[in-house]
Amino acid sequence: MDLGEQIFGLETDLKELTRLLELCGTKRAYDVLSQEKIKIEKELCQKRLQTEQQTKRETGNKADTNAKGYTVKISNYGWDQSDKFVKIYITLKGVHKIPESVEVNFMERSFSVLVKDLDGKNHELTISNLLCPIAIDESSKKLKTDMVLVMCKKKTAKKWECLTQVEKQTKCKDKSSFDENADPGEGLMNMLKKIYSEGDDEMKRTINKAWAESQEKKTRGDDFDF
């Protein structure tokens, strides 16, 4: 089975797991399926990276033969979206002067950017595990003054809540920690426990003191909203 077939199989499994997660009625089943989903997403990301590397080798790996200097990772970029496109903005001073040195490769759920020999360095950005699939043939790049604009065409015209699956999972974890529908008292206690466990000695003394005072007031029958 080649990489393309493996990726297709993993994507199919991922869609089915996502569907099943929406139908889960118990926390235990949800947790088990979530762990399996994370494993598949990790394997899928690795397979996509292997495909990208294979593509570079098959095209003669021009980046290695023509690029000069050393390679630095691009860590700062911005993104926006329209109904049809996800747009990634990469600021690099002078990049518009060397359009022939800017390479962008698209996969269904990832893309990579390589800018060769800009100020004696190569600049590289790889975004894997995009939130939704993109149309490879309709995606493109544009060069503007001191900027590379990557245009990822959405396969489905809908709003993305974030750029990657990893960001979505992080948001879901944060949301579950502070569930708006949860009991306010329980939520407050969980927050206090978190602050206590992460706080310094002074913070812990303050919380202990406040808790002791609240218990004394409850014993006397006074109201105390803590």
Q: What is the pLDDT of residue 81?
A: 96
Q: What is the pLDDT of residue 174?
A: 61
Q: What is the CATH number of the domain that holds 140?
A: 2.60.40.790
Distances 10 to 82, 137, 170 between C-alpha atoms, Å: 28, 22, 22
Based on the domain organization, do 47 and 79 belong to the same domain? no
Q: What is the pLDDT of residue 67?
A: 46
Q: What is the pLDDT of residue 111?
A: 95
Q: What is the pLDDT of residue 148?
A: 97
Q: What is the pLDDT of residue 217?
A: 67
In the Cβ-directed half-sphere of 134, how many Cα atoms lie within 13 Å?
30
Per-residue pLDDT reduced to its tens digit, 171-210: 776 665 555 555 555 555 666 676 667 667 776 777 777 7
Based on the domain organization, do 97 and 68 belong to the same domain? yes
Domain assignment of residue 95, given as a range = 62-153
Instruction: Indicate the number of domains in the chain.
Output: 3
Based on the domain organization, do 100 and 124 belong to the same domain? yes
In a domain, 102, yes or no: yes
**pTM, two decimal places:** 0.51
Based on the domain organization, do 72 and 96 belong to the same domain? yes
Q: Which residues of the chain have pLDDT under 50?
A: 65-67, 224-226
Based on the domain organization, do 102 and 146 belong to the same domain? yes
Based on the domain organization, do 55 and 85 belong to the same domain? no
Based on the domain organization, do 149 and 112 belong to the same domain? yes
In a domain, 120, yes or no: yes
Cα four-point dihedral sign 166, 167, 168, 171: positive
Based on the domain organization, do 95 and 33 belong to the same domain? no
